Structures are given as C-alpha cells and as structure tokens.
Amino acid sequence: MHPASLHRDFAPRLIAWQQGHGRHDLPWQGTLDPYRIWLSEIMLQQTQVETVIPYYSRFLARFPDLATLAAAPEDSVMAHWAGLGYYSRARNLHAAAKLIAAEHNGRFPQQLDAILDLPGIGRSTAAAIAAFAFEQRGAILDGNVKRVLARVFGIDGWPGEKAVETRLWALAEVLLPESDIRAYTQGLMDLGATLCTRACPRCGACPFSDDCSARRQGRQGELPGARPKKSIPEKATAMLILLHGGEILLEKRPAPGIWGGLWSLPECPAAADPARAAASLGYRAETAGRCPARSHSFTHFRLHIQPWLLPVERPFVAEEPGRLWLALDDLDGAALPTPVRRILEAIRGA
C-alpha cells in the first residue's frame, strides 16, 4: 500500500481490529468513571497489565472514589501502592486527588489542558484519560505505541531521542480519527501489548502485516532503535535492623527520592561500623549480626544492601518525627519498599 493510503486507512483498520480482536475484559474497561480510568492509566505507566490488575483491585477496595483518596492519609496510600514501584506515581496521584477536591469541587476535570495540569500526568496519559472518559480526540505515545508506529511506518532511531520522538508525535497526531477515539486509542495499546511485542511479534495476526515497513524489510528486531548502551552505576548501603521486643525501628523516606513517602530501615555507609551507626541514632547494641546481602535494581542504578541485625534497648522517650517502632507481626499493612519487606520477612521467619 502507498504510504499516503496507509496513513488514511490506518485508523479504520485499527478500530475494526480492536473491536473484533482487542482486549475487552480488563478491570478498568466498561466504565466511563474518570477516577477509575485515571487510576489505571497511572498504574500502567511503565508497568505491565498482569502486574497492575491485583494492585488496581486492592487500591479501589480501599479508595473507591476520588473523595476517599483525597481524604486519606499519605501512609495509607503508600501502603496500598507498596511493591508496585515508581512511588512518585502514588504521591502525585494523592496530590492530584487533593487538588481536584480543592479546586474542581471534587469533579475530575474534563478538558485536556486541565487534565494535563494535574500532578503526575503527561501528554500521553492526559490524552488517554480524555479519550476513554470523555471521548475527546488526542494522540497517545507510550512505549507500546512508539513501537507500533516505528515498525509500521519504518521510523529509525531510538524513540528517546528528541528528534525521533518529535517525529513520532507528529505521526500520532496525523493518524487520529475523527470518531471512535476510544476504540482507536485502546487498539493502539492492544496492538503493541498483544501482537507487536518487543520480542517475538505475532506479525501474521497483525492487521498491518502486509504493509508494515519493518516486516517487509525483516527489521522487526531493529525497530524501534535501541537505547544507546551505557553502564549502570552500582551503589551500596548498609541497613540497620534495630530490634527490641519483636519491634523494629523504621524511618520515613523523604520525598522526592527513591522510596519517597515509604517507611524504611535506617541506613549508613556500607563500610561503616553498624554498632556505631546505631549509637549515632541513640541506641546501644551489644552485637551486630550480618544478614544475607540483597540487591535491588532501579531504572538508573543497582543498589546492593547489607542488612545488620542489632538487638537494642528501646528508650522510654518519644521517638523523633519520622521514626516509629513497628511490630514484626504488623509488616503486612505497612508501607514498605519491596526489598525492605523481604529483609524483615526473613527476620520474622527466622
């Protein structure tokens, strides 16, 4: 097919494919509630559907509507997000709910520009929410969509480069249909998630198999272009498990920053004496037991953690703000980073 014809026929063919072969039974489909659509779109940022579904259900069970989320304490919000990662999403979600309650009379804004002004919402997410909740036309360009467009239309380069991203955005705008924006937007997401996958794409089932530039040239593995390789920094830290009577001391992580808003173990440099580090916090430890080391990968670095178990005497004075003692039996409801939870579960089960 001539490129001009493919541009013209892209949306109708995608809509027809989505209606017949796309996903129709995801938990956030079949609703026009902007709160539920917004929540799903935020959770799906950089996270796969299979991972999101149980978190989405548990989050809604605790925060069934925008007003409940806006009125909730931050610790409760973070506890129901713990384990899903990218915790700034939860902080922004909570902040946006409070902003909507204060400045929009508790009603989710309908205009694209107003949605885009909410914390944690970028251009693509705003367009997706506007399409699904309010049937407004707007281009989306998440990772799946970038892959589909790069392959079908033969766009070279890594989509993270500004020039390549600009070209993809321009193409995404040109391809927008005048109607059926919900099916079209869902179709883009479905095609990238189920057929035009990063590895082993199912080209034979794709509605664009005969016209796809990448398939015609055998370049499915080359498009979109890969991120330029660079070494991932390695960092190390020691975590102090200050234990007294079945309780451990936690400190609230500052925001912004990794695990911001979550409760974590006190830290010290990896080479530091753990007993001295405990003393600097006001606790005396007679012994320091080395626990199995753990590693955790973030987007931009890898963290190596050496936990130390230190039985201490708990003072009778009130703890400083940002610190609390938590019973090991109460771990399940706490807002803890995943590696910290695993460290403490190992201590509890020992």
Q: What average pLDDT does range 263-274 have in this prediction?
A: 96
Length of the chain: 350
- Please give the residue that has the higher pLDDT: either 202 or 2: 202
Q: What is the pLDDT of residue 68?
A: 98
pLDDT number for residue 317: 56
Q: Which residue has the higher pLDDT, 320 or 50?
A: 50
The whole-angstrom separation of Cα 152 and Cα 220 is 10
Q: What is the pLDDT of residues 29-86, one digit of tens each?
A: 999 999 999 999 999 999 999 999 999 999 999 999 999 999 999 999 999 999 999 9
Tens digit of pLDDT for each residue in 71-91? 999 999 999 999 999 999 999
pLDDT-derived band at 5 (thresholds 50, 70, 90) equals confident
Q: Give the model's pLDDT for residue 303.
A: 97
Q: Where do the domains of the chain lie?
A: 3-217, 234-349
Which of 124, 138, 116 is CA-nearest to residue 46?
A: 124
Rounded Cα distance, 225 and 150, in Å: 9
Same fold, 3-217 and 234-349: no
- Indicate the pTM of the whole model: 0.86
pLDDT band (50, 70, 90) for residue 177: very high
Work out the pLDDT band at 2, boundaries 50, 70, 90: low
Q: What is the pLDDT of residues 281-309, one digit of tens each?
A: 999 998 999 999 999 999 889 999 999 99
Between 3 and 151, name the one with better pLDDT: 151
Map tokens 């109607």 to a residue. 179
Mean pLDDT value of segment 231-248: 95
pLDDT computed for residue 318 by the predictor? 61
Q: Which residue has the higher pLDDT, 254 or 151?
A: 151
| pLDDT-wise least confident of 1-10, 130-139, 149-158, 311-320 | 311-320
109 versus 332: the higher-pLDDT residue is 109
Ramachandran category for residue 209: left, alpha or beta (phi over 0 → left; psi -120 to 50 → alpha) = alpha
Query: 3-217 — its CATH code?
Result: 1.10.340.30
Q: What is the mean pLDDT of residues 184-212?
A: 97
Q: What is the percent of the chain with per-residue pLDDT over 70, rounded to a whole number?
A: 97
Say whether 135 is catalytic: no
Of the residues 41, 165, 234, 313, which is catalytic? 41
Percentage of the chain lying above the pLDDT 90 cut: 89
Label residue 342 exposed, middle or buried (CB < 10 Å: 0-12, 13-18, 19+): middle
* pLDDT at residue 316, rounded to an integer: 59
Q: Which CATH class is domain 234-349?
A: alpha beta
DSSP 32-101: --HHHHHHHHHHTTTS-HHHHHHHHHHHHHH--SHHHHHHS-HHHHHHHHTTS--THHHHHHHHHHHHHH
Tokens 């700034």 locate to 88
